Amino acid sequence: MIVYLDNAASTPPLPEVLAAVAHAMTDLYANPSSAHGLGAAAARALAQARSEVAALLRAQPSEIVFTCGGTEANALGLLGAAALARSRHMVVSAIEHPAVLRSAESLVGKGWQLGKVAPAPDGRVSVESVLASLRPDTAVLAVMLANNEIGTLQPVAEIGRALRAAGRKLHFHVDAVQFAGLIPVDVETLGADSLAISGHKLHGPKGTGALWLRKGARVAPLWDGGRQEGGLRSGTENLPGWVGLGRAAGLCLQDPRAGVAVAVLRDQLESLVMQAIPQATFTVPATTPRAPQIASLRLPGLPAEPLLHALEARGVYASAGAACSTRTHGPSHVLAAIGVREQDAVLRFSLSRLTSESDVTAAARALREAVDEIADVVKVRPRGTRP
Amino acid sequence: MTTILCRFGELFLKGGNRHIFLQTLINNVRAAVRGLPEVKVTAPHGRVVVCVPDQARAEACSRLERVFGLVSISPAASLVPDIDAICAAAVAEAQAAIERNPELRRSFKIEPHRSDKHFPLQSHEIACRAGDAVSAATGIPVDVHEPALRVGIEVATQAAHVFAERRPAPGGLPAGVSGRAVLLLSGGIDSPVAGWLAAKRGLAQEALTFHSPPFTGEKAKDKVIALARHLARWQAVSTLWIAGFTDTQKRLRAAGRPELAVVLYRRMMVRVADLLCERAHCGGIVTGENLGQVASQTLTNMRNIEVAGKHLILRPLLTYDKVETTALARRIGTYDISALPYEDCCSLFVPAHPATAARLSDVERAEATLDIAKEAADIAEQAERIVL
């Protein structure tokens, strides 16, 4: 039995996606830029995929730039905007994914100044603190929609509205990698300039992603070459991957209520765990706006990695919110930012549209047993007293 | 074809056993180059010679550089023993060498060796002729005292060899001539280095590691397998035993005071290694222990651990500083694997304050609550064996 609750790390590709990828690899092998009929067939498939991704984000197909994944899409949005900026101040939230955070930090050595907005203990950055950290010369701002570790939703649309109200002319980039797929995204309402998604987080193939770039917003390409993707992303199109991403996006759209159903299962998992394990707590309050698929639970005084292995032995696959089980690892930057102690395990169970109620009950039961097994051993060495 | 001349050092010292040492070395060289296309290994007097097609030369050299017992290797041109051919080869080898490293242009020397005394020219005449040729072709001056470049010429009855490159090999003794041992291998930095050093002194080893699922994950196990595979490239280990330790570890932890736990675990590991020694015909146990590094590695505790087994325990790293061990780990290529982060087999079970000088009577009293011999036998019996 496999109970796969690590969908925030990667989702299984759907059969329709596999079929679309196989079809593209088998029959659409020509280069979409070629002038002949086979090239035209490939170009049509690519256009179809672009439309499907645009539809998922309620955007125009011409606003979609395909990439090799969420990291590249984030880099293109952030570094691409920075390359064209007139001033050199950037603001990001302190709990961004490393794809954004390290891209931003990479500019610090190149004359940029970087401001980081700390979250409140509930794992959200406030609109006020974002606005307060902006300077007249701030050129780029990045805030994620849903945090990948703890699932908290950030007030992106409110920030976008406030920027517009204040008449700010800066590039507002949004990482939607953990958000898109289950909840409808409407880029028009976000007030953002660019937004990144990843294929394998929404049952598409790995190695695929896309950047939505608002019509009129400009970024510089990260490299040059054959100038595919409107000149923003040189390199022969990954047609099978992007066709698969298009199909995955289309399937998300067919199931607009999926986010609600997944949230119900997530709540069920959390309440089962809370009943079964008295010492378990929410990493952030359950009332915090959160992505529907992520349950982040804190188990005081227990090591995360052995708990994961104990869960795995029972067929349940999850992740640590932070790999703080070994001496070489501290808590992640996200958990540190919201004040999680190093000696507490934070486990992340992440669901998908494929998760069933029996998965959730099995996971709660397995976690109960795993906690018993590990707690029995670690009482030898109270984690808090470790040198 | 490229000929690689392989030189060995200490073997000459071994008197009556010399032929056994030499045969082991030849076998190890054969094993190292096995799988290369059209490879031929011969052992004319005083050396081992490997012939491979030119395209396999780099791979053959990198494998031979990891054979214990060899002190250096030289890829050489092999030709008929004729002075004109020898001079031409000397020029070619010298030019290739200065192309690889322009600093060698400073000066050169010809080092001839004539084992075929029927060859019409004497050694110094060979040196003069080849030296003139190299000098004329490259313009490098001769310096017979401290040359930057040394061109070796060896003339035997069947063939002559010319080389300008000497690559160091690890030295030591051929793995196997000193017998066989069980290596206690973890995912850490020390034990792979200990195994390498033991192999350098001629020990062939079977590695034994302990795995405590669910406290250790698959990745921790894969890491030890990767380390064992890397050591196997040095012919330091041939086999990896993976022993399940969880249940015994839990019982041991419950059997005595928490601060005794580490000594109890280590004694059990030695007992299991003892059983494997008997099964795999090994004469000793190699560990990465290091005097004073952690609580279990005091004189008292090493003694407490040692007396649990019957076999000799060797600790090649006993007096190494951590920086020395780390530097060696980097040199032999195990460091990057050891540095991977996965939880090791005992780090969770280690008490906050382990005893630095456990009383043996306390330890034995704790063990008396369990059927210690059966625990060890069960672990050894159920260990998984991977041939590397």
* Pairwise CB contact (< 8 Å): B253 & A380: yes
Q: pLDDT grade, residue B283 (50/70/90)?
A: very high
Q: Does B219 touch chain A (CB under 8 A)?
A: no
User: What fold, for A257-385?
Assistant: Aspartate Aminotransferase, domain 1 (3.90.1150)
| Same domain as B151, residue B234 | no
Which residues constitute the domain of residue B367? Answer: 179-387
- In this predicted model, which residue has the larger pLDDT, A111 or B13? A111
| Domain A15-253 in this protein, CATH class | alpha beta
Instruction: Answer whether B253's CB lies under 8 Å from B212's CB.
Output: no
The domain tally of chain B equals 2
Residues 316-345 (B) with a CB less than 8 A from some CB of A: 341-343
Q: Please check whether residues B142 and B187 belong to one and the same domain.
A: no
Q: Are A193 and A219 in contact (CB under 8 A)?
A: no
Q: Is the fold of A15-253 the same as that of A257-385? A: no
Per-residue DSSP letter, A183:
B
**Which SS3 state, helix, strand or coil, does residue A313 take?**
helix
d(CA A303, CA B104): 57
Domain finish residue from B123, B140, B168 = B168
Q: Is B349 close to A323, i.e. CB distance below 8 A?
A: no
Q: Do residues A354 and A263 touch, judged by C-beta distance below 8 A?
A: no
Domain ranges of chain A: 15-253, 257-385
Which of B123, B147, B168 delimits the end of a domain? B168
Same domain, B20 and B129: yes
Residue identified by tokens 């081992």 is B48
Tell me: do B197 and B267 sit in the same domain.
Answer: yes
B186 plus B143 within the same structural domain: no
Tell me: do B67 and B139 sit in the same domain.
yes
Residues B199 and B264 both lie in one domain: yes
Interval B318-331: pLDDT, tens: 999 999 999 999 99
Q: Are residues B206 and B354 in the same domain?
A: yes
Q: What's the CATH code of the domain at B28?
A: 3.30.2130.30
Q: Which two tokens stand for residue B214?
A: 């669910």
Contact yes or no for B137/B128 (Cβ under 8 A): no
Pair (B132, B274) in one structural domain: no
Across the interface, whether the CB atoms of B351 and A380 are under 8 A apart is answered yes
Instruction: Classify A346 as helix, strand or coil.
Output: strand
How far apart, in Å, are the Cα atoms of B384 and each of A250, B98, B219? Answer: 48, 52, 16
* Partner A contacted by B245 (CB < 8 A): no
Residue B174, in any domain of the structure: no
Tokens of residue B57, six digits: 């030369």
Output the 3-class SS for B155-224: ECCCCEEEECCCEECCCCECCCCCEEEEEECCCCCHHHHHHHHHHHECEEEEEEEEECCCCCCHHHHHHH
Distance from CA of A300 to the nearest CA of B (A): 16
Distance CA B242, CA B383 (A): 5
User: Where does B34-73 have alpha helices with state H?
Assistant: 57-64
- Are A197 and A146 a contacting pair, CB within 8 Å? no
Nearest-CA distance B256 → chain A (Å): 11
User: ipTM higher than 0.85?
Assistant: no
pLDDT digits (tens, 9 = 90+) for A90-102: 999 999 999 999 9
Distance, in Å, from the CA atom of A294 to the CA atom of A318, rounded to the nearest integer, reads: 11
E strand or H helix that includes residue B244? strand B237-244
**What is the rounded average pLDDT for all residues in chain A?**
93
pLDDT at A380: 46
What is the CATH classification number for the domain harbouring B205? 3.40.50.620
Q: Decide if pLDDT at B313 tops 80.
A: yes
Do B134 and B207 belong together in one domain? no
For residues B336 and B349, the model is more confident at B336
Give me the residue from A305, A310, A376 closest to B343, CB to CB. A305
Chain B residues within 8 A of A370 when measuring between CB atoms: 214
Chain A residues whose CB is inside 8 A of the B252 CB are none
pLDDT tens, residue by residue, B195-214: 999 999 999 999 999 999 88
Find which of B294, B343, B345, B349 to mutate to test the A interface (most A CBs within 10 Å of its CB).
B343
Phi, psi for B243 (deg, rounded to 5): -105, 130
**Range with lowest mean pLDDT among A191-200, B9-18, B101-110:** B9-18
Q: Is residue B173 part of a domain?
A: no
Query: Are B144 and B291 contained in the same domain?
Result: no
Size of interface A-B (CB pairs under 8 A): 56
The CA distance from A273 to A366, in Å, is: 10
